[in-house]
Amino acid sequence: MKTVSFNKKLLAAAGAAIALGAGVMLWTQSVQAQSAVSTASVAAPSTPLVRGLPDFTALVDAVGPSVVNIRTLERVRPQAERGDGNMDPEMQEFFRRFFGAPFPGMPQQPQQPQPRRRGGQGEGELRPSGVGSGFVLTADGFIMTNAHVVEGADEVLVTLADKRELKAKVVGLDKRSDVAVVKVPVSGLPALKVGDVSQLKVGEWVIAIGSPFGLENTVTAGIVSAKQRDTGDYLPFIQTDVAINPGNSGGPLINMRGEVVGVNSQIYSRSGGYMGISFSIPMDEAMRVSDQIRANGRVTRGRVGVQIDQVSTEVAESIGLGKARGALVRMVESGGPAEKAGLQAGDIILQFDGKPIDKASDLPRIVGNTRPGTKAEMQVYRRGVQRKLTVTVGELPADKVQAEANTADEQVQTNNVLGLTVTNLSADQKKQLRVEGGVRITAAQGAGARAGLREGDVVLAVGNKQVLQVADFNAAVGTVEPGKIVSMLVRRGETVQYVLVRTVR
């Protein structure tokens, strides 16, 4: 019995042990399986986004023959003293274009300009004055380059990829965009294909071909660092890290499809050498200019007669605009297209001819590309209300003439919580300033002074309330809550700006 009893207990214990062992085995297998899955998920390699580096050899073979070297000559009188000594033309171009500074050792005082006489034999010696690059636009000899490469040259020499050197005629140049077109008397040249700049992406590989320091057919490569880089009134530059040096100016920026997408124009440097930032004129902008040059020999641009500024986030919020956008009109030219259309200083232009103005620099480009004489609709924001105005676009002259307005004192004054003493404008002052009304600051203390307001400033609006006279000013300021920020539209000289004033609690 005992034995039987023992055997039963032994069997029961054995069964329990087997069950426990099976459970442990199952748990161990489960943990191992989960561990294997986890390890697999960690160890599994992801697909690389970039594979290897590009090979540019085929690209260079295809587009290289379209790139040219450009040398310019200047006729000088033998007795003329030259401030540049024996400096190489490459270095002259470098310091003149990128730094506006003389080469170390050059005379610091400007030389009196000597009269230059063009086009005659024996009237002076032709000397090198600059170097640059260019590329073939059309098979019949039109070549694009930078305006600063050929500006002021008495003779332009173009060296083709096959080593032929030809005299070129300057068809026209546009200093505002830094684009020029020259023509050589040959045909059958290999023209570059123009690419779509809108398809160009930041991070995309590009190459430049040119003649840095006179070293012809030099190839450098890099990526697009940024687009729409604002460094000029009419050009949203392409920024790259392609090595650009003196002599590269006017050469092409080429994408991996062998298309020219930009004209190499500028570098940024603090040391005098390449520092990893280069700028190229977008090819769509360059083509707009070159088409006009080839058709008319010059470029015409639209204008409306305003001075503008950026709209800050603080100003946008304080006047109820919300998002910072548009172009703040700081001055309206007397008798200009904008004034005739009813535009006022302090207005914010949100759209022009159906195109949105996201930032102030968009406006001159859009207006400049509008044909003079066109009637265009502007959407503006004025004292909390959006309205539409129609302007007839004028033509941008070669030189801008700006009038200066003077102010005179008046008599009526008042004090207010902003620490400002103001006075009404006289009829003569309104006429001189070309404003409907406003109040002139005669003294600034407290919050107004801390915000930068000063005697002579003219207040045109407080918040979104127009100020025509002292009574309007008092009424508007009376609604300002202590400790709040109030926006004031202020005219100083010929321009207007929003000033944010924080009142004291």
Residues marked as catalytic: 148, 178, 249
- C-alpha distance from residue 110 to each of 83, 101, 156 (Å): 8, 11, 26
The residue whose two tokens read 């012809």 is: 216
- Degrees to nearest 5, angle at CA 441 with 435 and 445: 150
Which two structure tokens, joined as six digits, stand for 97? 């274009």
As given in the structure block, the two tokens for residue 253 are 């920026």
User: DSSP secondary-structure letter at 11?
Assistant: H
Q: What are phi and psi of 495, to 5 degrees?
A: -120, 160
What the block records as the tokens of 299 is 């470029």
| Residues facing 414 on adjacent strands | 422
Tokens of 30: 């489960």
> Cα(83)–Cα(66) distance, rounded to whole angstroms?
36
**Separation CA 272–CA 19 (nearest Å):** 83
- Compute the distance between CA of residue 468 and CA of residue 474 in angstroms, rounded to an integer: 11
> Do the Cβ atoms of 437 and 459 come closer than 8 Å?
no
What does the block give as tokens for 472? 């309007």
Helical residues (DSSP H) of 391-503, grouped into ranges? 427-433, 446-450, 470-478
Instruction: Please say whether the beta carbons of 402 and 428 come within 8 A.
Output: no
